[in-house]
A and B are shown apart, each in its own frame.
Chain A
Amino acid sequence: MSPTSQLAASDPIGIDIGGMTIALRTQDPAFRQMLEDRYAGFVKISPNPQFEFDISLFEPEDSPDPSEARHADDGVQVRLQGGEWLLQRGDFSARWDSVAGRGHIRQSRNPYAIDSALRIVHTLILARQGGFLVHAASAIRGGRAFLFAGVSGAGKTTISRLAPSDATLLTDEISYVRRAGNSYEAWGTPFAGELARVGENRAAPLSALFLLEKGPENRIEPVGESEAIRLLLRNILFFAEDPELVNLVFRSACEFVERVPVRRLIFVPDERVWEMIR
């Protein structure tokens, strides 16, 4: 029996990402169904979710709130105000009391809006735990996880597509990194990129971060610590205009590079590249 088949229509839907459950409550059956479909594999029945959001929907053309009339291209704004986090983009606005664990999201029906809201909330949670979301593919092989980051076009989608059958793809777009004592874990996410394939909801100890670069041959090169930090920071997702949390994320990146090998992976885009990833 799937988790969703055990849910009553009035139950919130728990979205379990990175081992943290965020319950989403909506009164709209179609939107609810979209959530169940979009996050299949990450839906969890959790009587005591760590965080809970009520969702209300608006149609852009009849929005009574001028703040919702922002242009769809308007950028993300995340700031702390009066003890609550305010999250805003063209297609959604949200309030979140991180201490109480409760919030409210007002959004269009655009499924990417809830994707973005969830990502932002997770970046805020992770910032205080020494983890982060990073624009990288990731996979588990041999019980260990590997991250693959790089500028757009470097090969995140390619290496994900080439993954052998004994590798478990965690994501081809947004990787979830959590601190686990003195080491790190990578968790699967439902945030898909060009591959349009949701990752597996699994986790494994993180073995290495590879910085991708397509080239004439397959080889792995060392990366200096300062360059590794700089390139990692380039790929970390963080949206809040908050000096304290920005500082924490910076420290997290430094500590990550101290503990996880960072290598440059130059590769020919065919399946042989995975012979080096074990």
Chain B
Amino acid sequence: MMIMSAVDSTFFTLNEVATLIWQAADGHTPLSEIVARRICPEFEVDPVEAGHDAEQFVNDLSQHGILLVSEQPIASSPPPEAR
């Protein structure tokens, strides 16, 4: 999957794991739950390593302004446009 930043039109090409995280980022489901329930079973990866990689991924997207990282559920709109 490819996503485009609405801020500066930068593109991000995502691998399968990153795509799954992006699609599961609904503003309500904790990242740890996405890793535990979606990534680990589907890709058979170590939970600790997967957790670290997932955190790095969301932080990267957050730094580019295309994903909001929050300690609390975000009660608003669905995820931004994906392409």
Interface, chain A (partner B; CB < 8 A): 72-76, 89-91, 112, 115-116, 119, 135, 149-153, 173-174, 193-194, 234-235, 237, 239
Instruction: Answer yes or no: B21 CB below 8 A from chain A CBs.
Output: no
Instruction: Answer yes or no: B24 CB below 8 A from chain A CBs.
Output: no
Interface majority SS (helix, strand, loop, mixed), chain B: loop
Instruction: Answer yes or no: B37 CB below 8 A from chain A CBs.
Output: no
Interface, chain B (partner A; CB < 8 A): 1-2, 4, 6-15, 18, 60, 80-83
Check A73 against B83 for contact (C-beta < 8 Å). Answer: no
Check B10 against A193 for contact (C-beta < 8 Å). Answer: yes
Given contacts A75-B81, A149-B13, 9 further A-B contacts (CB under 8 A): A74-B6, A74-B81, A75-B82, A75-B83, A151-B13, A151-B14, A152-B18, A174-B11, A237-B2
Specify which chain B residues have a CB less than 8 angstroms from the CB of A153 in the assembled complex: 60
Check B11 against A73 for contact (C-beta < 8 Å). Answer: no
Distance in angstroms between the alpha carbons of A153 and B13 in the assembled complex: 9
A152 and B6 in contact, given A74-B81, A76-B83 (Cβ under 8 angstroms)? no
Check A135 against B2 for contact (C-beta < 8 Å). Answer: yes
Specify which chain A residues have a CB less than 8 angstroms from the CB of B14 in the assembled complex: 151-152
Check A135 against B9 for contact (C-beta < 8 Å). Answer: no
Check A135 against B6 for contact (C-beta < 8 Å). Answer: no
Check A73 against B13 for contact (C-beta < 8 Å). Answer: no
Distance in angstroms between the alpha carbons of A89 and B7 in the assembled complex: 12
Indicate the member of B8, B11, B13, B80 with the most A CB atoms within 10 Å: B13
Q: List 20 A-B contacts (CB under 8 A).
A: A73-B6, A74-B81, A75-B81, A76-B81, A89-B6, A90-B6, A91-B6, A112-B8, A112-B9, A135-B11, A150-B13, A152-B13, A152-B60, A153-B60, A173-B11, A174-B11, A194-B10, A237-B2, A237-B11, A239-B83
Distance in angstroms between the alpha carbons of A239 and B83 in the assembled complex: 8
Specify which chain A residues have a CB less than 8 angstroms from the CB of B81 in the assembled complex: 73-76
Specify which chain A residues have a CB less than 8 angstroms from the CB of B60 in the assembled complex: 152-153
Specify which chain B residues have a CB less than 8 angstroms from the CB of A235 in the assembled complex: 2, 13
CB distance from B27 to the nearest CB of A (A): 13
Distance in angstroms between the alpha carbons of A149 and B12 in the assembled complex: 11
CB distance from A215 to the nearest CB of B (A): 15
Check B9 against A115 for contact (C-beta < 8 Å). Answer: yes
Specify which chain B residues have a CB less than 8 angstroms from the CB of A74 in the assembled complex: 6, 81
Q: Report the 8 A-B pairs with minimum CB-CB distance, sorted nearest first.
A: A75-B81, A112-B9, A152-B12, A151-B15, A73-B6, A135-B11, A151-B13, A73-B80
